[in-house]
Amino acid sequence: MFKFFSKREVTDDYRDSKQALVTLYNPRSAASEAYRMLRTNIHFSSGGDSFKVLVVTSTFSGEGKSLTAANLAITFAQAGESVVLVDADMRRSSQHEKFELPESPGLSEAIVSSNIEASLRDGPVLGLKIMTAGITPPNPSELLHGKRMDNLLGDLKSRSDLIILDAPPVLAVTDASVLASKADGAIIVMDMTMSDKNASKRAVDSLRAVNARILGTVITGMQPDRKRYGYHDYYDRYYDDSEHSSDGQDTVHRGRAVR
């Protein structure tokens, strides 16, 4: 499973939520449609109702995994599913900035106190709940590996159709492997301008070492070639044609007029 995004569409450094959450603020863009296609691919790859926990990670920091997790959560909620997006990157959290929410209380507090309700907030889409990272603990890996994290996931499973975990990069710390071992599937976000073959292989091997089920890879960092008639151009023209058709005007397709 491969999806391609340009660097502009996936950079995790976005601070403007309207730029970051393209599926919410620009749902008819080509990028939003690509996230919906990714959602469909995950549905087909998951293998049924038993799929409840999805980890989104990357090889390195800054490859777009947090944006991918956020926009995926929105698209699943837009499709009518109840979704919980959990910022499990407690060392470099970012979901609270994207959704303009307080960082605390969040995941770290929920694990320690078992008070999950206090750390869940409503998202901007009906059916979406968000758990921010919370205060950075001195021992994130130990918290994520412990029994209390298992209990938290069990509680969230009973509340939702899908849990999406925004995990740290695989090669940076062990957290991603710990989370992937608890999940039903994982996707890896790789930036073509940052990842090399050896690093990508080590990331995949690290997840396989904990018997993680890797559903596929999201490729980012693509540089669109404006000289060619690509998917983005086709998608934009498709919507333009649809708008003209809905107004009762003739639309030209390959030299013939249709209504």
Question: Is 73 a domain residue?
Answer: yes
Q: Which pLDDT tens digit goes with each residue over 21-79? A: 999 999 888 889 999 999 998 888 766 667 899 999 999 988 999 999 999 999 999 99
Question: Is 195 a domain residue?
Answer: yes
Q: What is the pLDDT of residue 17?
A: 67
Question: Is 245 a domain residue?
Answer: no
Q: What is the pLDDT of residue 3?
A: 52
Q: What is the pLDDT of residue 44?
A: 83
Q: What is the pLDDT of residue 256?
A: 32
Q: Looking at residue 80, which CATH number applies to its domain?
A: 3.40.50.300
**What average pLDDT does range 177-205 have in this prediction?**
90
DSSP 38-101: HHHHHHHHH-STT--EEEEEESSTTSSHHHHHHHHHHHHHHTT--EEEEE---SS--HHHHTT-
Confidence of residue 129 (pLDDT cuts 50, 70, 90): very high
Select from 146, 191, 233 the least CA-distant residue to 6.
Answer: 191
Q: What is the pLDDT of residue 159?
A: 93
Question: Is 10 a domain residue?
Answer: yes
Question: Is 154 a domain residue?
Answer: yes
Determine the distance from the C-alpha atom of residue 26 to the mean position of all C-alpha atoms in its chain, rounded to a whole number: 16
**What average pLDDT does range 174-185 have in this prediction?**
94
Question: Is 248 a domain residue?
Answer: no
Question: Is 150 a domain residue?
Answer: yes
Question: Is 255 a domain residue?
Answer: no
Q: Are 185 and 215 in contact (CB under 8 A)?
A: yes
Q: What is the pLDDT of residue 122?
A: 96
CA distances from 249 to 28, 99, 234, 237, 258 (A): 21, 40, 20, 15, 9
What residues make up the domain containing 167? 2-240
Domain count, the chain: 1
Select from 184, 191, 218 the least CA-distant residue to 35.
Answer: 218
The residue with greater pLDDT, 221 or 123, is 123
CA 219 to CA 13: how far, in whole Å?
17
Confidence of residue 180 (pLDDT cuts 50, 70, 90): very high
Q: What is the pLDDT of residue 19?
A: 78
Task: Indicate the average pLDDT of the chain.
Answer: 83
